Amino acid sequence: MSFKKLYLSTKFWKFWYHIKILLYAYRTCHIVKLWIKSFDLFAIMITYG
């Protein structure tokens, strides 16, 4: 394997790794937002129920 190929594949894997982290963070954030929304609804139901 040539140095250039190795360098490009390393670059690709780093790029892929960052995308995976971003997607995971986005998904987690989305789940947390949904959870907060449902928690707010629950709080409103307790307060005014």
Phi, psi (degrees; rounded to nearest 5) at 2:
-80, 160
* Whole-number Å distance between alpha carbons of 16 and 43: 40
The whole-number pLDDT of residue 25 equals 93
Which residue's structure tokens are 């594949």? Answer: 9
Helical residues (DSSP H) of the chain, grouped into ranges: 3-48
pTM over 0.85: no
Query: Distance (Å, rounded) from C-alpha 49 to C-alpha 24?
Result: 36
State residue 15's pLDDT score.
93
Give the pLDDT confidence of 8-43 residue by residue, as tens digits: 899 999 999 999 999 999 999 999 999 888 888 888
